[in-house]
Structure 1
Amino acid sequence: MSSQWRYTKTPDLRLRPLKEHGYLLVFTPSRPRLHWLNLNAWLIFELCDGKTEEQLRQAYVAAVSRKLSPEEAWSQLQAGLAQLERIDVVRKSEAKEVYI
């Protein structure tokens, strides 16, 4: 059995999309702070719905493939995930594969 990281949104966030300005406003009640996510960070945030790191990579590369090479996309995704984890809007957890 192998394990992988899975990424999810932190529970209890307050979200306010500001589409006309290209930002997602995120309030973290556990550590009262307001964060402005630009379009790139917003995309990464939305992709964090329980996907594994590999699934995230594939989805992100597909979404930005017209502008970035797969290597550039992977680098940008890693940096974005690290930042979103640091501000506690995304969480990483170890998930084990289940074989039935």
Structure 2
Amino acid sequence: MSARQLYVHGRVRTREVPGEKSLLVYQEDRCRISILNAKLWLLFALCNGKTYEEIAPTFRAAIDLGRDLEQATAELRQGLAALEDAGLVRRPGDTLAPQPYPNERNTE
């Protein structure tokens, strides 16, 4: 991973789902709602201008339930990739085109 900082992308509103350990994230510019589980919620909260190298130790410590470092690192990378794929997180200089909804089809 590069040392570039990670930021929340666009205007979002968030709401905790009581009793579910999940977070609803509404992307105003895309009229899209994402539901984040506890791990993705933690990563989303950590993407406030920190680099991967700054996020990694906090994430690994929070999820370490006897897992090895390799597994925790894999979960970190998968989580960040999921947030980036959803358009929730970006790195400065990245251009993110809005992604189609899963049920949309290209009609061109």
Given the two structures, how large is their TM-score scaled by the length of structure 1? 0.82
- Confirm or deny that 1:9 pairs with 2:2: no
* 1:58 corresponding residue in structure 2: 57
Matching residue of 1:78: 77
Between Structure 1 and Structure 2, the one with more strand by share is 1
Give 5+ residue unaligned stretches, structure 2: 94-108
Query: CA–CA distance in 2 between the matches of 1:33 and 1:51?
Result: 25
- Return the structure number with greater helix share: 1
Stretches of 4+ aligned residues off by more than 4 angstroms: none
The CA RMSD measured in Å over matched residues stands at 1.6
Alignment of 1:36-51 (within 5 A): 36-51=35-50
2: distance between equivalents of 1:80 and 1:29? 22
CA distance in 2, matches of 1:19, 1:45: 18
* In structure 2, C-alpha distance between the alignment counterparts of 1:20 and 1:67, rounded to whole Å: 25
In 1, Cα distance between equivalents of 2:74 and 2:34: 22
Distance 2:71 2:39 in 1: 13
State the alpha-carbon separation in 1 of the partners of residues 14 and 42 from structure 2.
14
Aligned length: 92
SS in 1 for 2:82: helix
Q: Which residue of 1 aligns with 2:31?
A: 32
Percentage of pairs with the same residue: 34
The TM-score normalised by the length of structure 2 is 0.76
